[in-house]
Chains A and B, each alone.
Chain A
Amino acid sequence: MVSRAGSLPRYMLQRLLLVIPMLFILLTLVFLIMRVAPGDPVSATVGGQLREEELERRRAALGFDRPLIVQYLDYLGDVARLDFGTTITDDQPIMNIVKENGGATLTLTVAAFAVALFLGVVFGLIAGRFRDSAGDVVIRLLGIATYAAPVFYTGILVKMLFAGNLGWLPPNRATSGFTESDVDEHTHILLVDALWQGETEAVVDILEHLVLPAATLGIFICGIFVRLIRVNVLQTLQADYVEAARARGVRESKVMRSHAFRNALVPVVTIIGLQVALLLSGAVLTERTFEWPGIGSELVRYITLRDYTAVQGIITMFAVVVVVISILVDIVIAIIDPRVRY
């Protein structure tokens, strides 16, 4: 039962080796669907709008005139260099979109995650502590309802109430016009830049815009945290070591604080990796709802334009991000809890 010291690097290597085939399969799949299946992405995207010579020129520019296997190997090689291709409609490298709009998406997802974690911990602990009480029942029902509500529906309701009827907060976009001109872009994360330059007014403006989208997305994903933490509290309260602590005369409130809460929170880290997928999906929809200038909004815009290479590139980028984050989370867990490495 004694942990083997020094097995962390080996575990990390194992984890990485497992991920490579998975990433390879995902990329192959995306390539097959987005480039092979439609035949010719250029005419599928802008066919009928441009003259044949222009289409031909674009095909050549994007390398679609070469054999598929060459295109495939190129695609894999490009992704390895973090080059996700170029859009057909406006000739933009995907990496530019990531640079320009990634900051907004990052701000939204991080803030939403914080909201979800906060709500999840508070309500999960209450529901678990007071099992089967009225509060527990209400929290569980709300948990089902918030998860049942599509994130864009919650968004619409929230906008109607807080931006429309009450007029407390701005409904759309990440900033008011003046902020964008006041803040110089360095990191492309507006909030960070504004804080860095000490633009108090801009910071307040950005935060005001952030509240509704972050709360909407946070509420959507908090249900899973509530459930998980509630179940963990229930299980921990029945754990043998909790009974042993009670047998030493430890007060119930202290048992709650030092055993149940603490031990119930550890498994939360383990599902963060899974949550990233949900968080990204939710972010795409939330951005569309609040006209948030993130990568998700761009994705939806290119979907409307039927831009094959843009959709392919953005989806590939998301796939890489999800896989990388899941490895990072696993490694962090292994560092926190040595029992994971067995």
Chain B
Amino acid sequence: MNDRMEPVVSVRDLRVWYGTERGAVRAVDGVSFDLLPGETLGLVGESGCGKSTLGRGLLGMLPEGAQTDGEIRFKGENLRTVSRSRLRDMRGPELGMIFQEPLTRLNPLMRISEHFEEALRAHTPGISKDTVERAALEVLGLMGIPPTRYRSYPHEFSGGMRQRLMIGLALVFRPAFVVADEPTTALDVLVEAQIIRILHDLRREFDTSLLLITHNLGIIAEACDRVAVMYAGKIVEVGEARQVFRDPQHPYTRELLRSTISLSTTGLNYIPGAPPDLTDPPPGCHFHPRCPDAMRVCEELDPIDQELSGGQRVECWLHGPDHLIGVDGRDRLRVREELSVADEA
């Protein structure tokens, strides 16, 4: 639908590796995607697949010892290579981040007003308290926080309210791009729905592009335009959320959707095995040891990004390209029954 728009964020071949005692962890290993203005892209996957690292990597908020490579193009600049001070200046006005655990993200000794003053003053030195207050109250109003609470301390708010404060602190700048890293995981279900509603309405109020990281497929269905499925440091499938949910093209996406619980679920489905050790991922397609459809080629060659007719992009040998698959490449690696045995070995 937005085919001809310039993307706000354009990531190409991004890699983020961590050095540890056991060797390099390939948390993000060659990821590419685009994000259009005002669009919400859901990033979904199991824990430890590199979602959070990807989100943080985009804003340059990685811990010491991480190394990156590739390109993060944002408004004509490569965020991966711009200077630290340039990146710092962009965080806030251009780039926002919302974290997982709202309870610890506000300084307990600072009033809410001081948080807003600190943030806005960092980018507009000498801005008056009144101006800050006006901007803050406007955004807090949208978050459903009454102006009377502006001078309260963080501990006087509930978890859900604190997350709304965090969102308000990110949106007060009206940034072009926001990363929300599991913003509702620490909250209860009713509050979760509120926060998702707010994030869903972002586009209307702020025209902000959002990368929404979650492991909850329900949230994706509710709040996202497109969805990217991540497995072992790679994006294995990207496409319009409804399209992907209706017709998943990657076996991992399919299994992930099957394993969610809904009212119509009759039995519990799960994907056997565990996500691979990212210091030493399996060769070829990282999912092949757990994949019910694995073929000979899957353990030999890295899968290649394919654009399908429905607009989805998939990295899976089931979708070709055929000319690279060898003579017996399409042979089944195993029959389904063997899977659990192979996994235990």
Give the B-binding residues of A (Cβ under 8 A): 1-3, 239-251, 254, 258-259, 262-263, 266, 338-339
Q: Roughly how many angstroms separate A2 CA and B161 CA in the complex, as a whole number? A: 12
| Binding-face segment, B23-31, B96-104, B237-245, B276-284 | B96-104
Hey, what's the 0/1 contact readout for B157-185 against A, CB within 8 Å counting as 1?
A: 11100000010011000000000000000
Contact, CB under 8 Å: A1 / B105: no
Which of A247, A258, A338 makes the CB contact (< 8 A) with B91?
A247
Q: Does B119 contact A (CB under 8 A)?
A: yes
* In the complex with contacts A243-B61, A254-B118, A258-B118, A248-B105 CB distance below 8 A: no
Q: Roughly how many angstroms separate A2 CA and B105 CA in the complex, as a whole number? A: 17
Q: Does B339 contact A (CB under 8 A)?
A: no
Contact, CB under 8 Å: B118 / A250: yes
Main secondary structure of the interface of A (DSSP, over half): helix
Contact, CB under 8 Å: A241 / B122: no
Q: A249-B91, A259-B107 provided; 9 other pairs, C-beta below 8 A?
A: A239-B104, A239-B107, A243-B105, A247-B61, A247-B91, A249-B92, A250-B119, A254-B122, A262-B109
Contact, CB under 8 Å: A241 / B106: yes
Q: Roughly how many angstroms separate A251 CA and B144 CA in the complex, as a whole number? A: 29
Q: Roughly how many angstroms separate A269 CA and B165 CA in the complex, as a whole number? A: 30
Contact, CB under 8 Å: A247 / B59: yes
Q: Roughly how many angstroms separate A248 CA and B61 CA in the complex, as a whole number? A: 11
Contact, CB under 8 Å: B122 / A251: yes
Question: How far, in Å, is A181 (CB) from chain B's closest CB?
Answer: 51
Q: Does B331 contact A (CB under 8 A)?
A: no
Q: Roughly how many angstroms separate A259 CA and B118 CA in the complex, as a whole number? A: 11
Hey, what's the 0/1 contact readout for B99-143 against A, CB within 8 Å counting as 1?
A: 101011111111000000011001100000000000000000000
Chain A residues within an 8 Å CB radius of B158:
1-2
8 residue pairs, one from A and one from B, having the closest CB atoms: A249-B92, A249-B91, A240-B104, A247-B97, A244-B105, A248-B119, A241-B107, A250-B122
A-B contact count (CB 8 A): 79
Contacts A/B (CB < 8 Å), 18 sampled: A2-B155, A3-B155, A3-B156, A241-B104, A241-B107, A244-B99, A244-B106, A244-B169, A245-B119, A247-B96, A248-B170, A249-B88, A249-B90, A249-B119, A258-B110, A262-B109, A266-B109, A339-B155
Task: Give the residue name and chain of the B residue nearest to A262 (CB).
Answer: B109
Chain A residues within an 8 Å CB radius of B110:
258
* In the complex with contacts A1-B155, A258-B118, A339-B91 CB distance below 8 A: no
Q: Roughly how many angstroms separate A248 CA and B155 CA in the complex, as a whole number? A: 21
Contact, CB under 8 Å: A249 / B93: yes
Q: Roughly how many angstroms separate A246 CA and B89 CA in the complex, as a whole number? A: 10
**Most chain-A CB neighbours within 10 Å: which of B92, B105, B170?**
B105
Question: How far, in Å, is A253 (CB) from chain B's closest CB?
Answer: 11
Q: Roughly how many angstroms separate A1 CA and B160 CA in the complex, as a whole number? A: 12
**Most chain-B CB neighbours within 10 Å: which of A249, A338, A339?**
A249
In chain B, positions 222-242 with a C-beta closer than 8 Å to chain A are: none
Task: Give the residue name and chain of the A residue nearest to B85 (CB).
Answer: A251
Chain A residues within an 8 Å CB radius of B119:
245, 248-250
Contact, CB under 8 Å: B122 / A248: yes
Chain A residues within an 8 Å CB radius of B96:
247-248
Question: How far, in Å, is A9 (CB) from chain B's closest CB?
Answer: 20
Chain A residues within an 8 Å CB radius of B109:
262-263, 266
Q: Roughly how many angstroms separate A241 CA and B112 CA in the complex, as a whole number? A: 12
Q: Roughly how many angstroms separate A239 CA and B108 CA in the complex, as a whole number? A: 11
Which of B90, B99, B108, B118 makes the CB contact (< 8 A) with A339?
B108
* In the complex with contacts A240-B105, A259-B107, A339-B155, A245-B91 CB distance below 8 A: no
Q: Roughly how many angstroms separate A251 CA and B89 CA in the complex, as a whole number? A: 9
Chain A residues within an 8 Å CB radius of B166:
244
* In the complex with contacts A239-B104, A244-B106, A259-B107, A249-B155 CB distance below 8 A: no
